[in-house]
Amino acid sequence: MITKYSILFLYFAILFLIGYFASKKIKDTKDYYVGGKKLGFWVVAFSARATGESAWLLLGLTGLGAMVGVSAFWAVFGEIIGVIISWFLMAERFKELSDKYRSITIPDYLVSRFKSRSNTLRIVAATALSLFVVIYVSAQIDATGSAFESFLGWDYFTGAIVGFIIVLAYVFTGGFVAVAWSDLFQGLVMLLGLILLPIVAYFSISSNVSISEELTKLDPSFLSIWGGGEFTLLDFFTILGFLSIGIGFMGSPQLFVRFMSIKDTAEIKKGRWVAIVFTLLTDSCAVLIGVYGRYLLTSIGQDPETILGNGAQNVLPLLVEHIMPLTLVGIYIAAVLSAIMSTIDSLLVVASSAISRDFYQQIFKPKKTEKELAKISKIITLILALLALMIAMIVAITIPGRTIFWFVIFGWSGIAATFCPTMILSLSWEKFNEKGAIASMITGFLSVPLFKFVFTNLEGVGEYFEKLGELAPSFLLALIVGIIVSFTTSRKSF
């Protein structure tokens, strides 16, 4: 146990050092929110990927691999598609426009792109971002508590609060610079940990054993890419749901603010390959960890959730304890916390910027100095973090059967459905206008809870919407509404 704590102490010490040195570089809000727009491709690529993956990768996707087998690779495929589209087709255009408009937040960019004369777009964007960020951060805090509980045997609530305090400390001091550099460090920890574990698991299995035969005995559909013996309509909707997870990479503010922060478009061309390789390796290894964990930790006839936890989300910590030497267990605790904290810190900075700059400064107090605004940003960061912590505690008490995978996905879907259709259309269609953007964002914002809680309970079709998830239909509806409203309102203007 001393070894585990020693490694964790070293890990947190590095994070605090990053926050301390980053704080020395903070001179104004541009530095605090986007690192002064001078970061290199390694930092930005790792930061974007570490933020995009979160607890969903190490606890959620590994659990999905343990529950459904190789069909979980559809989620990997969906993520890779999303990363390719964002880095190859959207990033350079967005960087050029955001630099041209001198934007330091996503609402800044949207207001300039549509030459807004009112504050409606800024209010809608900042409100939606703040609300779903709090939900998303609460899911990450929930995962922090589960991680400490699984690895160290701590009380769940103690673990959640400790993780919360650590993240808040270095975000509070260093802003985006601390976030980006800590994400590079944490991304490396995640990458190495995820690659190593399935390799060790594979070689821990006797060469006389047919892994595929044993897995088929555990679950006849486990090795089917379609998720079942016969391909059904329900399987089709399940696959679409997995694929649609990648939509969130095509415009979510916490990821696209990284493109604002990068030095120039030449760095984007280098960073795209780092991002793609990172995604391919980490996500594929996460699924494999789930597959090997199912084989090594469960027996024929057992319900995997009784051994591996809700949604099998404890498969990674249990597998680490089962096959890894004690000295490495602490590193894996750090890897899990890296995935979680790299997302929490990024989201808090993005949300605080939306409220302090887009609400407070741009709408109510335009004459506030940079120094005053920086102080207000830190206060807002603290308030948002406390709200997220409160929601995480309430959810933990009221919904003990929740899974990290779908808790995270709900927050991810809310941000993605609200912003991705608008971001895609704003970068690719000149006739897309402010009214279309507002309509699209409101539609995406409202559709996520509608498809999550209403359509899934409809008789006859509810199970299909449950498998599909809320992101794909919400995204599609918001995209269509944005196009229709832009067409109709532009015609009226002639």
Give me the percent of the chain exceeding a pLDDT of 70. Answer: 84
Alpha carbon distance 391, 145 (integer Å)? 13
CA distances 399 to 139, 162, 394, 403, Å, are: 12, 21, 8, 9
Cβ-count burial of 255 within 10 angstroms (0-12 exposed, 13-18 middle, 19+ buried)? buried
Q: What is the pLDDT of residues 126-168, one digit of tens each?
A: 888 888 888 888 888 888 888 788 777 888 889 888 877 877 7
Q: Write out pLDDT tens, residues 284-309.
A: 999 999 999 999 999 988 899 999 98
Q: Is 3 left (phi over 0), alpha (psi -120 to 50) or beta?
A: alpha
Domain 2-399 has CATH 1.20.1730.10: yes
Instruction: State pTM to two decimals.
Output: 0.85
Q: State pLDDT tens for residues 190-239.
A: 888 899 999 999 999 887 888 899 899 988 889 999 877 678 899 999 99
Strands (E), 83-135: none
Per-range mean pLDDT, top range of 218-222, 389-393, 428-432 = 428-432
Segment 449-472 mean pLDDT: 92
Residue-level pLDDT at 246: 93
The pLDDT value given to residue 486: 96
- What is the mean pLDDT of the segment spanning 348-369? 71
Mean pLDDT of 230-250: 91
* Nearest-angstrom CA–CA distance, 318 and 316: 5
Task: Examine the pLDDT at 277 and tell me if it is beyond 90.
Answer: yes
What is the pLDDT, as a whole number, of residue 35?
47
* The pLDDT of residue 350: 76
Query: Average pLDDT in the 16-39 region?
Result: 59
Question: Cα-flanking dihedrals φ and ψ of residue 208, to 5°?
Answer: -85, -5
The pLDDT, as a whole number, for residue 494 is 36
Q: What is the DSSP string of 440-466?
A: HHHHHHHHHHHHHHTGGGSTTTHHHHH
476: number of Cβ within 10 Å? 16
Out of 32-36, 129-133, 355-359, 392-396, least confident range: 32-36
Q: Which amino acid is at 247?
A: I
Q: What is the pLDDT of residues 94-105, one digit of tens each?
A: 999 999 998 888
- Select the more confidently predicted residue: 367 or 121: 121
